[in-house]
């Protein structure tokens, strides 16, 4: 859509007509600019390339799940929803109960149930594709082997913890001419699709700069990046990739120009031993005297707030005593650790400034001390401005001076309730299943080529944070 058509859709007579607003309305518009009070119109009726998650295929894709944890079982669920399009025919997980849980659900025969990923590739190729949803440091080897054996790959992000391995996966995908879709799920979420389409329409003129903030809910920070799988950058991946590769990717995607330089800073401020309150034991479950006044208490987060329970293999039992028992039992007791006594090193605040081709700039900030997630984005253009919170965004056109809002419900667009990542998880799978069925990687917006580019930005940011130098990308 070009800017003229866009304005027509909004009912603006001529692109050059400046509509004079009374002082009160001007003040109102200005207030909205600052704190987002009720806006004046809707963008919801625009055609912004948003589709239901049901795939349009007449061929079933068969798939092997490698890593049947949280992400693997989420992706496997899509096969239950649309069995004509996707069938799980193999499962691998080093935890036998996880392998069994997913394999039983999908009727996977005994000979296609595996432990370690390497066992999958000891038998001849028996599916169209694999899902690699193992931990970050177990992406590279299974992905390389899968490509060599002729499988297409749905690959969890981050692609790999090192730049060298990321580039090797890209080269391997080219060598064997296979589709690799990286799970940059936000590119498929209706909110971000709509945001990008509005920018591409020219509604705000030429994009000049972006401010983007990624708040991490404080208990989520404690769970994943202090106690959990991504707590240590050397054991997993630096947080700028582990958590924020989505954000760098979205910035690159919306600005639609290559990033030239990046400079980053940030550190671990709070979650370290010197900040432990006096007398705090190693675990919250060891009778900590501060447990009831600590916002990061594991007992509170898991047994009372009941957040992030998927790591405890509860099989639906959410009884607080049962969860507490799990929290005291290895290996789950690692989640009971005091946040000041973990082997963590991930920064809890991280800033990065990027310069893109043509001098466009982006300022990114990841913040761990926030009450809720929900990415905040402000996009500055020569003719307008957009501000969004992850579910709704407001557009200010400098000519009409009337704010317009996009706030469509994901469940209505996708005709499905409960899709993760703002609907991105299953929309990605729809595009992957269609890409494999038609052997057409062009149906994906997160191909391995573009995904590696934003990963390279992340590696450059981390180099800059550690060295204090501005890095070329």
For ligand NAD, the binding residue among 156, 214, 247, 249 (CB under 6 A) is 156
Instruction: Draw the binding track, 345-364, toward ligand NAD (x: CB under 6 A; -: no contact).
Output: --------------------
* Contact range with ligand NAD by CB under 6 A, out of 11-19, 31-39, 130-138, 335-343: 130-138
Instruction: Draw the binding track, 405-434, toward ligand NAD (x: CB under 6 A; -: no contact).
Output: ----------------x-------------
Looking at beta carbons only, is 7 or 195 nearer to ligand NAD? 195
Positions in 173-212 near ligand NAD (CB under 6 A): 183, 185
3-state secondary structure of 129: strand
- From the CB of residue 284, how many other CB atoms can be counted at a distance below 10 Å? 25
Looking at beta carbons only, is 58 or 111 nearer to ligand NAD? 111
Looking at beta carbons only, is 183 or 264 nearer to ligand NAD? 183
- Distance from C-alpha of 213 to C-alpha of 104, rounded to nearest angstrom: 41
- The yes or no reply on residue 448 touching ligand NAD (CB under 6 A) is no
Question: CB of 407 within 8 A of CB of 392?
Answer: yes
- The yes or no reply on residue 133 touching ligand NAD (CB under 6 A) is yes
What element of type H or E holds 154? strand 152-155
Number of H helices, E strands in the chain: 15, 16
- Of residues 284, 265, 315, the one with CA closest to residue 466: 265
Q: Check whether the bond before 158 is cis (ω within 30° of 0).
A: yes
- The yes or no reply on residue 244 touching ligand NAD (CB under 6 A) is no
Beta strand ranges found along 332-464 (DSSP E) = 349-356, 361-370, 376-381, 384-388, 393-397, 404-406
Positions in 43-102 near ligand NAD (CB under 6 A): 66-72, 92-95, 98
- The yes or no reply on residue 453 touching ligand NAD (CB under 6 A) is no
- Site of tokens 């003040």: 27
Question: CB of 333 within 8 A of CB of 283?
Answer: yes
Looking at beta carbons only, is 117 or 340 nearer to ligand NAD? 117
* Residue 208 Cβ vs ligand NAD, minimum distance, rounded to whole Å: 29
Cβ-closest residue to ligand NAD?
69
Looking at beta carbons only, is 133 or 454 nearer to ligand NAD? 133
Looking at beta carbons only, is 244 or 297 nearer to ligand NAD? 244
- The yes or no reply on residue 235 touching ligand NAD (CB under 6 A) is no
What element of type H or E holds 144? helix 140-148
Q: Where are the alpha helices (DSSP H) in 206-365?
A: 218-220, 239-242, 245-255, 298, 320-327
* Residue 112 Cβ vs ligand NAD, minimum distance, rounded to whole Å: 14
Structure tokens of 382?
A: 């020569």
- Distance from C-alpha of 432 to C-alpha of 370, rounded to nearest angstrom: 34
- The DSSP bridge pattern shows strands 471-472 and 129-132 to be unpaired
Give me the residues that bind ligand NAD (CB under 6 A), please: 66-72, 92-95, 98, 116-117, 133-136, 138, 156-157, 183, 185, 229, 242, 421
């Amino acid at each position: 859509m070009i800017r003229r058509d866009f304005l027509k859709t909004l009912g603006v007579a001529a692109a050059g007509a400046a509509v004079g607003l009374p002082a009160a309305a001007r003040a109102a518009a200005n207030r909205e600019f600052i704190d987002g009070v009720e806006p004046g119109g809707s963008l919801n009726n625009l055609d912004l390339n948003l589709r239901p998650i049901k795939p349009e295929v007449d061929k079933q894709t068969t798939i092997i799940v490698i890593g049947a944890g949280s992400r693997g079982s989420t992706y496997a669920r899509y096969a239950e929803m649309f069995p004509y399009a996707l069938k799980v025919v193999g499962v691998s997980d080093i935890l036998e109960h996880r392998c069994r849980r997913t394999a039983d659900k999908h009727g996977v025969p005994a000979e296609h149930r595996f432990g370690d990923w390497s066992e999958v590739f000891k038998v001849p190729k028996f599916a169209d594709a694999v899902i690699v949803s193992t931990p970050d440091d177990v992406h590279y080897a299974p992905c390389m082997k899968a490509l060599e054996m002729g499988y297409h790959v749905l690959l969890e992000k981050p692609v790999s913890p090192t730049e060298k391995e990321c580039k090797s996966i890209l080269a391997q995908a080219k060598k064997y001419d296979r589709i690799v879709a990286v799970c940059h799920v936000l590119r498929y979420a209706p909110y971000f699709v709509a945001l990008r389409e509005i920018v591409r329409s020219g509604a705000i003129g030429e994009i000049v700069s972006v401010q983007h903030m990624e708040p991490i809910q404080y208990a989520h920070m404690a769970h994943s990046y202090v106690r959990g799988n991504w707590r240590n950058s050397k054991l997993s991946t630096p947080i700028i990739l582990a958590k924020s590769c989505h954000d760098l990717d979205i910035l690159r995607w919306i600005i639609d120009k290559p990033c030239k330089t990046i400079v980053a800073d940030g550190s671990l401020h709070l979650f370290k031993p010197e900040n432990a309150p006096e007398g705090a034991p190693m675990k919250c479950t060891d009778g900590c005297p501060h447990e009831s006044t600590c916002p990061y208490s594991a007992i509170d987060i898991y047994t009372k707030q009941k957040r992030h329970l998927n790591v405890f293999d509860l099989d639906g039992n959410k009884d607080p005593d049962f969860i507490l028992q799990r929290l005291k039992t290895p290996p789950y007791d690692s989640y009971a650790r005091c946040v000041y006594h973990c082997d963590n090193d991930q920064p809890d605040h991280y800033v990065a400034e990027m310069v893109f081709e043509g001098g466009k700039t982006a300022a990114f900030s990841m913040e761990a001390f926030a009450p809720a997630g929900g990415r905040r984005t402000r996009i500055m253009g020569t003719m307008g401005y957009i501000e969004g919170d992850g579910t709704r965004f407001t557009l200010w056109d400098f000519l009409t001076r009337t704010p317009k809002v996009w706030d469509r419900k994901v469940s209505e667009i996708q005709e499905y309730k409960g899709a993760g990542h703002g609907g991105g998880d299953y929309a990605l799978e729809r595009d992957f299943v269609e890409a494999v069925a038609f052997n057409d990687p062009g149906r994906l917006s997160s191909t391995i080529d573009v995904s590696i580019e934003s990963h390279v930005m992340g590696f450059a940011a981390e180099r800059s944070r550690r060295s204090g130098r501005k890095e070329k990308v």
